A = this chain, B = another copy of it.
Amino acid sequence: MAKGRGAAARTARRAGASKAKPAPKKADAGHPVSPLAPKSFAALPPLAGVRLATAAAGVRYKDRTDVLMAVMAPGTQVAGVFTRSKTSSAPVEWCRTGLKGGEARALVVNSGNANAFTGKAGFEGAREVAVSAAAVVGCKAQEVFLASTGVIGEPLPAQKITKVLGSLAEQGSAGGWRAAAEAIMTTDTYPKLATAAAQIDGHKVTINGIAKGSGMIAPDMATMLAFVFTDANLPASVLQDLLSSGVKPSFNAITVDSDTSTSDTLLLFATGKGAHHPAISKANDRRLADFKRKLDELLLNLALQVVRDGEGARKQIRIDVTGAASDDSAKTVALAVANSPLVKTAIAGNDANWGRVVMAVGKAGEPADRDKLKIAFGNQVVAEKGERSPRYDEAAATRAVSGSEVEIVIDLGIGKGRSRVWTCDLTEGYIRINGSYRS
């Protein structure tokens, strides 16, 4: 998906693969489960018009599922947003083309191989998977959507995937969301799921979503993938408007390490099989207000699950910038803070180091006035009017950054622009995961 400069790309170790547990409910060997993992996982209800199945195809991992197939009812509408990387993967290119038709009948996702920077052979591999899926589903290849996550630069072993598609299409069931979320994991330390019920003009519809963050397998990088399904009856154009709007304050407002994957993909499918609500042709139709709100919440929920599973993360950090010259300017400042290694290491060390926040604001290059800048950790004001706040209380400020959820509040005091972004702290765990010797 399009994450701009702030991104959730992450990476992992080849070594992890061979040590992966049979059921990927725990993190790969060597990756302790994030302390920010949810206490329990959302139970996603069946969703009319979607059948899911997973397989252990051995794309790269052994003894775990690595292919997800979702078969959707005829007429399913689709929207998507993708990485802005100039070196995007073959599946991303395939999906961009497929989106023009607006209809989807199948989604095939594999973990273990990103099919990125694999040249023409990579695109042929993607096409082979799509053609094969189309044959078993009985649809056009362009109605098959693809995502791959894992090693970069290695040819996709397409036949390992195509040979399981027939049985996956047969097995598919309306349940199995947890298994689906697990099959797309790489170095994720927990599966990411969310569900919501919404009303459209008095008719109940369901939204289910799964996502993955941290990626894996050297030489490689992680990828942010998210797939959201609803049984609402909405045309592709409306879905695209909702998704493009909903992604801004969620997946486009998170960053783990400022790196952007070649493969980031967020797709939204609407089967139209869940309710007989009236036809809706505009995203700003008032009858969509509840659906839009619930979709936005679900996207943010999934995005935060990705942040909270950032490599080495021990804390979630929220950054609120207000009083900026514009919303864009506020976001630039917020991302400068969120991506500052000095800020992130300070928070990791429970250090109320507001000087580093001043530095990050200053380096963002956006309009700012030192003497109007105000900085707080939670509700503890630490700096204002160009100097340390007279209200500064070191012990209270330290407490404010010592929990597992930290809020940095910055008021630039010069305009009305505002932005909120999330990140995680930067710990030695990040270095260990990403700097380990390839073997």
Contact = CB atoms under 8 A, between A and B. Distances in A.
Contacts of A117: 355, 358, 370, 383, 386-388
Given A121-B387, A362-B86, A431 B426 contact: yes
Of A5, A219, A260, A386, which is in contact with the most chain B CB atoms at under 10 Å from its CB? A219
A215 to B, nearest CB: 10
Contact of A349 (B5, B348, B350, B435): B435
Interface string A243-280: 00000000000000111111000000000000000000
Interface stretch (A67-75, A189-197, A336-344): A336-344
Contact of A152 (B7, B260, B355): B355
A85 B363 contact: yes
Contact of A351 (B116, B219, B261, B352): B219
B119 A362 contact: no
Interface in A370-425: 370-371, 373, 383, 385-388, 398
Nearest to A359: B221
A351 B437 contact: yes
B386 A353 contact: no
Contacts of A358: 87, 116-117, 152-153, 262
Contacts of A371: 119
Contacts of A114: 355
A99 interface: no
A368 interface: yes
Contacts of A170: none
24 contacts: A11-B342, A85-B363, A86-B367, A87-B359, A87-B368, A117-B370, A117-B387, A118-B387, A119-B387, A121-B387, A151-B355, A153-B355, A218-B355, A219-B352, A220-B356, A221-B356, A221-B359, A258-B340, A341-B434, A345-B430, A346-B434, A351-B436, A351-B437, A428-B428
Closest 4 CB pairs of A and B: A152-B355, A87-B362, A119-B387, A85-B362
Interface of A: 5, 7, 9-11, 83-88, 114, 116-122, 151-154, 218-221, 257-262, 339-342, 345-346, 348-356, 358-371, 373, 383, 385-388, 398, 426-428, 430-432, 434-438
Given A86-B367, A258-B340, A428-B435, 16 more contacts: A10-B342, A11-B342, A85-B359, A86-B364, A86-B365, A87-B361, A88-B370, A118-B387, A218-B346, A218-B355, A219-B351, A341-B434, A349-B434, A351-B437, A353-B438, A426-B435
